[in-house]
Amino acid sequence: MATYCLTVARLQEINHEVYNFLSSAAAKYGVGFWKPGSGIIHQIILENYAYPGVMLIGTDSHTPNGGGLGAICIGVGGADAVDVMAGIPWELKCPKVIGVKLTGTLSGWTSPKDIILKVAGILTVKGGTGAIVEYHGPGVDSISCTGMATICNMGAEIGATTSVFPYNHRMRTYLEKTGRGQIAALADGYADLLVPDEGCKYDQIIELNLDELKPHINGPFTPDLAHPVSDVGAVAKKNGWPLEVKVGLIGSCTNSSYEDMGRATSVAKQALDKGLKCKAQFTVTPGSEQIRATIERDGYSKVLSDVGGVVLANACGPCIGQWDRRDVKKGEKNTIVTSFNRNFTARNDANPATHAFVTSPEIVTALAIAGTLNFNPETDYLTAPNGEKFKLDPPNGDELPVKDFDPGQDTYQHPPAEGTGVKVDVSPESNRLQLLEPFDTWNGSDLENLKVLIKVKGKCTTDHISAAGPWLKFRGHLDNISNNMLIGAVNSENDAINKIKNHLTGEYGGVPDVARHYKANGVSWVVVGDDNYGEGSSREHAALEPRHLGGRAIIVKSFARIHETNLKKQGLLPLTFSNSSDYDRIRPDDKITIRGLKTFTPGKPLQALVKHSDSTEETLELNHSFNETQIEWFKAGSALNRMKTLQH
């Protein structure tokens, strides 16, 4: 098998300086630390910290996973979390509420994942922007607690601020099984406060009858392109998508529960009983050490391995691009199916030609066994080695382990009684870690003659702005990771990726290289972008890097919420065209002056004086969503700078 993975011991050896830094920082500031091998933070939160009615923020867009326990959990940028830890209030524009009414009952091959895949098809990747999605109705009781978490987790893919389910007996059982029976009893006493108010009104209502819902598979290249599994083979043929499934991948923070693994195992066991193994490569990523230990104890891991699977470390793994894939060459067209949440271009394996589809773990397992997208397990037959034709029975799996969870290895570092004497471990020679230097403050004037670094065409997610995969090793070193800035974005001038014109030299080069040349020559710049700019992961580096390399403003048709706030936090100006068609007025060789900064106030648009190379000029109106506090961030150069001034 051409899929390679590393052991936790090897990862600790490779990443020791990063882990030492995190461990020492946690100890110094008196907080706990989940050591390598613990698992994915969203799963850790669900198993240990989330509870009905709690309000949490987390530095990842899939923080809403906690909504599966009736919690309001919202993903934010790292600087927002710093504010909260420093005791500064965190602000959010009051969201709308989209109600999803569920009736009927899940059964057969249909799973909780299919609910959010269907909703994503209805709302698209930006239909939930500025809204909380609240699931309700009699159909809720047919969904396990971890199934609800799956749905809330992937609400990030429709742009939702967060998603939440009402408290019910499935949550109570999960709390009890994870050692939080006292919290369950307390929630029971306040159950009337943990459900929708009687007669409440929603800004939008979606109704789904779970009796009629069919298994879905979404993709490729976007998580909102929804297809029933029964149709995807024909659609793939029509569109020229590769039918052969090269790899099936299950797990990640979205679908790595005990129930998920059990349902996938039930499918795998049926194939094994007939002498079949996966035609495609197959990987399994447990979401936490507790899940890994429990599925190993209960025999799930052996079945999944026997059918051809490789059990990876308890981590995000291929879901976030940490996949050393070697079975196809970069640029080679191929298909993979995953139970992950995102399938943007090149996200999983850095190959822009990989057609990634998102579905449930049980459907992934079935398609990995069949080896083709053109297989519907509800109706189609497999052929055993002896020639026998057989159909897979619908999957089944225990919601929770009968023997309770096995906690596995103890991977938690408790906070010390006294940490003031601990030194935070950062080597000045490290190429992985670098202490941040303050950004420069605003000089009090309008921003004059900014170059257009790149005019981005079409979808530009945070993966396009700051790629994941092998780049993640530089997350602690701003200068090194800035070498990936916008290398995945499409240049409107030539439809090329990472090829822009340097207007000081007249030559073409990579986006980070040109940005560095501008910065070295004292030239500031802007990025111009399309709709929903910065959707996807709440990757703060996508805001840090433009600021570090000399960017001053990002001007687009519209922003994704978290990215817009992240840009403000770093002292950049996230601005939107008052008239979205003004995007077409910007030329790659323009110079832009941003006016109105001396009277910068909430609700008052700024102006862009656009100077074209043919000596013509035009003035465009630019909107912003800054409040008074955020304007102070801009003037101070960043939110951290402002925080420091307030301490003196």
CATH of the domain at 596: 3.20.19.10
Kindly state whether residue 31 falls inside one of the protein's structural domains.
no
Indicate if 522 and 584 belong to the same structural domain. yes
| Cα–Cα dist 541/589, whole Å | 26
Work out the angle at residue 578's Cα, subtended by the Cα atoms of residues 572 and 584, and round it to the nearest 5 degrees. 90
For residue 88, what pLDDT is reported? 81
Per the domain annotation, does 271 fall within a domain? yes
Task: Specify if 154 maps to a domain.
Answer: yes
Do 232 and 315 have their domain in common?
yes
Q: So what's the pLDDT on residue 82?
A: 84
Give the Cα-Cα-Cα angle 596, 560, 241 (nearest 5 degrees).
135
Q: Within the chain, which residues score under 50 in pLDDT?
A: 1-5
Same domain? 172 vs 49? yes
Instruction: Answer yes or no: do 267 and 343 share one domain.
Output: yes
Task: Please tell me the total count of domains within the chain.
Answer: 3
Domain check: are 179 and 278 in the same one? no
Q: Which helix (H) or strand (E) holds 258?
A: helix 258-273
574 within 8 A of 559, measured Cβ to Cβ: yes
Q: What is the pLDDT of residue 582?
A: 98
Is 391 within a domain?
no
* Each residue's pLDDT tens digit, 452-496: 999 999 999 999 999 988 898 899 999 999 999 999 999 999 999
What is the reported pLDDT for 87?
82
CATH (domain of 300): 3.30.499.10
Reduced to 3 states (helix: H, G, I; strand: E, B; else coil), residue 625 is coil
Single-letter code of the amino acid located at 606: L
Asked if the structure places residue 387 within a domain, the reply is no
Instruction: Decide: 429 and 473 in contact? Cβ < 8 Å.
Output: no
Are residue 58 and residue 176 in the same domain, yes or no? yes
DSSP 528-596: EE-TTBT-SS--THHHHHHHHTTEEEEEES-B-HHHHHHHHHTT-EEEEESSGGGGGG--TT-EEEEE-
Q: Is residue 415 part of a domain?
A: no
pLDDT for residue 8: 64
Q: Are residues 202 and 250 in the same domain?
A: no
Residues 97 and 193 in one domain: yes
In terms of residue numbers, what domain contains 506?
Answer: 447-646
Encode pLDDT of 324-342 as tens digits.
899 999 999 999 999 999 8
Flag whether 20 is in a domain: no
What region, left, alpha or beta, does residue 159 occupy, with left being phi > 0 and alpha being psi -120 to 50 degrees? left
pLDDT digits 0-9 by tens, 354-393: 999 999 999 999 999 999 999 999 999 999 999 999 999 9
Domain boundary among 214, 244, 274: 214
Which of residues 162, 184, 214 is at a domain's end? 214
In this prediction, residue 6 carries a pLDDT of: 52
Tell me, what CATH number does 153's domain have? 3.40.1060.10
Together in a domain, 291 and 196: no
Domain for residue 529, yes or no?
yes
Domain closes at, from 375, 392, 425:
375
pLDDT score at 631: 97
